[in-house]
Structure 1
Amino acid sequence: MTKTKEELLDILSRFQLDEKVVSAEPFGNGHINDTLKVTNEKGEIKYVLQRINHLIFTNVEMLQNNIHTVTSHIRKKLEARGEKDIDRKVLTFLPTKEGKLYYFDGDSYWRVCLFIPRSKSFEEVTPELSYEAGKAFGDFQSMLADLPEGAIGETIPNFHNMEFRLEQFHDAVKTNAAGRLDEVKDLIREIEKRADAMCIQERLYREGKLKKRTNHCDTKVNNIMFDESGKVLCVIDLDTVMPGFVLSDIGDFIRTGANTGAEDDENLNNVNVNMDIFRAYTRGYMETAKSFLTPQEIKLLPYGGRLLTYMQTVRFLTDYINGDTYYKIHSPKHNLIRTKAQFKLLQSLEEHATEMDEFMNQYLN
């Protein structure tokens, strides 16, 4: 962060703040945007200032319109339910003095939201937290289920489009930019073997059997704020909220939260699916999401875990073949290590597929 304190305070002065602020300091451990906590004269954190990463989110206007549409819609739903303390249950972004949803300083894009007091987030995933997370993301989707089509746009086009990810993969294999193909022939074979089965959602969509919904697309426990007693307050990190298939949101949680190892675990014996976490998340999710899901979607939910894990395997391997141009790496083989760890998780999910499908059947009967 290269801005001086004076420059940051000048940026803050462009927004409709309710009180005088005196400092903005780095906050949290997000990987995409730069986040700062903003304090008032009493030293209380009142706002969160973010510099938007416009290399990833190239259409900032659409991004901020999406977030405004989604948070306004959720706020109305919470009001209709008679909820109290709504400012802690949905993010509140403040406009600039010109009424815009962001401020551009000639170099970077900035936004400000209210800080949620008496809140916390968790990094560790347990069955108890997974159940609460399932309920939270299911409720989030449920409140947005009646958003009209076209109300929000794709902030990262084709983000969870498997056909598109396979096109990128095939281009990488054809070009062999880093001369690494011989080393990964076995993995390429495994990916090709599953390619057709992993494009089900795009085919069903074209046949009119699967609809696009408003998804979060980054369903991790640390994207939920909890109150002092461990009750869910709200879902945060809304940059990737966009139209897609419900399989994305349950699938990404299974891929990240139900993995007994690390995403880049070199010891593949560590990597398996934690069925307790799968069951807990799914139970919570179905409690709040079942009302709007179709039988087709419910049946496919466990497949979502396999799909998102396969997709990430493909993306890591694509990047390795291309010479590591997308993901940050910490060693020359990092993307290959990630690929193998994701593939091991995929194999574990495949081994548990029947058990997962049987668990879902209770919601279909």
Structure 2
Amino acid sequence: MQSSKNIAEVVSHFKCAADVGSQKAYGSGHINDTFKLKNVSPGGADYLLQRINHKIFTNVEKLTDNMRKVTEHLKSKINALGYGDPMKEVMTLIPTTNGSFFYKDSDGDYWRMFYFLGDTKSYDVVETQKQAYEGGKAFGKFQYMLSDIPAGEIYEVIPDFHNIQKRLQHLDEAIAKDTHGRVASVTPELEIVKHYAEAMQYFQQPGQVAALPKRVIHNDTKFNNVLLDSNDEAQCVIDLETVMDGYVAYDFGDAIRTIINTTTEDEADLSKIQLNMPLFDAYVKGYLKEASKFLTDAEVNSLMKGALLLPYMQAVRFLTDHINGDTYFKIKFEGHNLQRARAQFQLLKMLDAHAGQMHQTILTEMESYKTAQY
């Protein structure tokens, strides 16, 4: 926890009216440190202050420019529609006193600030079909509103973020170094990696590279990155650090990874990891309500490939971090990353067993939206 003195120094560089003494740690993110601060002005919006993990996001200036471009684009789209509230439906960056949107303190830490969106909530585990539908609609709309930004305009903040070939390469490097002597204890997990490795390189195949357009996507579509209002209706997509070019199936796959699982992503009891198919159906319906406006046939056919890839990739990342000594993801106990990896591998097995049925659901739903449009 940062001291109030440190927070006060940071806050003094932003154009805000934050009550420094009200600071509270906020959220369950793995990467950045986030604090909620109250507004000293009665009725004024509260604030979120974030310390950016610049070991991961090494170019904070480019990262911040991405977020500015994306939020401004989203707000302009909502304004053009003539309805909706861009201040509620899009995150709003608060400028510093020198006009920038981030501040570097005397310790070399980088900070940014947003208005806090009150009367909202997020869920780590989806509880209802309505929530799943609204999450799908939120991410589908997010992709749709950004679909007219040309590829290459957004800076690649983490190169090869969803390139499984690179992730497997990083795993091989971790195995070769074995800095913490953990490789011998993860043989079963490494066998699973090997079993699926070839099939998971679908998005690197030349035919798919030629057929699938690169678009500006979110790249981290965990369900808790959608804020819902008091009626459990989607209000805002948050955590925009990883917004950059990618395939729409990456976003679809990561959302399914967190929505369809009947328990948390780090469940220790693998028998509890089951597929909630009604939630999948609801998410697909909500997602395609918006995304059907721009998706190509090739992209539709790739969606289930993304749903298989993302739990596999996340498991590989967790396993790599475990072998490296837990240097990337925050952990709550020793072995946490290994437990996360095992849970994701189990989810992958369940998804693989039902992939055909799930793909048909996507095709049927897509056809219904096409029919409605004509």
Q: What is the deviation of 1:209?
A: 1.4
Partner Cα distance (1:159, 1:50) in 2: 22
Give the corresponding residue for 2:12.
13
Listed as ranges, the matches of 1:147-186 within 5 Å are 147-186=149-188
Distance 1:130 1:84, change over 3 A: closer
Q: Which deviates more, 70-79 or 266-275?
A: 266-275
> Deviation digits for residues 4-57 of structure 1, max 9, x if unmatched?
25x53443332333xx44435124224323323232143854332222222221
Counterpart pick for 1:29 among 27, 30, 49: 27
Give the corresponding residue for 2:50.
50
Partner Cα distance (1:205, 1:75) in 2: 36
- Answer whether contact 2:19 2:39 (CA < 8 A) is retained: yes
Unpaired runs of 5+ residues, structure 1, are none
- Answer whether contact 1:129 1:221 (CA < 8 A) is retained: no
How many residues end up aligned between the 2 structures? 362
Partner Cα distance (2:305, 2:264) in 1: 21
1:26 maps to amino acid: K
Listed as ranges, the matches of 1:103-122 within 5 Å are 103-107=103-107, 108-122=109-123
Distance 1:84 1:197, change over 3 A: closer
1:83 to 2:65 alignment: no
Q: What is the deviation of 1:342?
A: 1.5
Partner Cα distance (1:327, 1:9) in 2: 28
> Deviation digits for residues 64-123 of structure 1, max 9, x if unmatched?
101000001001100110024321111111222322121222322222222324333334
Listed as ranges, the matches of 1:234-313 within 5 Å are 234-313=236-315
2:328 maps to amino acid: Y
- Answer whether contact 2:253 2:307 (CA < 8 A) is retained: yes
Q: What is the deviation of 1:341?
A: 1.8
Partner Cα distance (2:96, 2:335) in 1: 45
Q: SS state of the match for residue 158, structure 2?
A: coil
> Deviation digits for residues 138-170 of structure 1, max 9, x if unmatched?
000100001122221122222211110011122
- Answer whether contact 1:309 1:346 (CA < 8 A) is retained: yes
2:276 maps to amino acid: N
Give the corresponding residue for 2:221.
219
> TM-score w.r.t. structure 2 length?
0.89
Distance 1:99 1:328, change over 3 A: closer
Q: SS state of the match for residue 208, structure 1?
A: helix
Partner Cα distance (1:97, 1:226) in 2: 32
1:358 to 2:366 alignment: no
Partner Cα distance (2:279, 2:33) in 1: 29
- Answer whether contact 1:205 1:211 (CA < 8 A) is retained: no
Partner Cα distance (1:329, 1:48) in 2: 23
Q: SS state of the match for residue 97, structure 1?
A: coil
- Answer whether contact 1:22 1:41 (CA < 8 A) is retained: no
Q: CA RMSD in A?
A: 2.3
Give the corresponding residue for 2:202.
200
Q: What is the deviation of 1:263?
A: 2.2
> TM-score w.r.t. structure 1 length?
0.91
1:54 maps to amino acid: H
> Deviation digits for residues 325-353 of structure 1, max 9, x if unmatched?
43344444433332222211111001101
- Answer whether contact 2:267 2:343 (CA < 8 A) is retained: yes
Partner Cα distance (2:111, 2:301) in 1: 41
Partner Cα distance (1:342, 1:243) in 2: 25
Partner Cα distance (1:287, 1:44) in 2: 35
Distance 1:294 1:326, change over 3 A: same
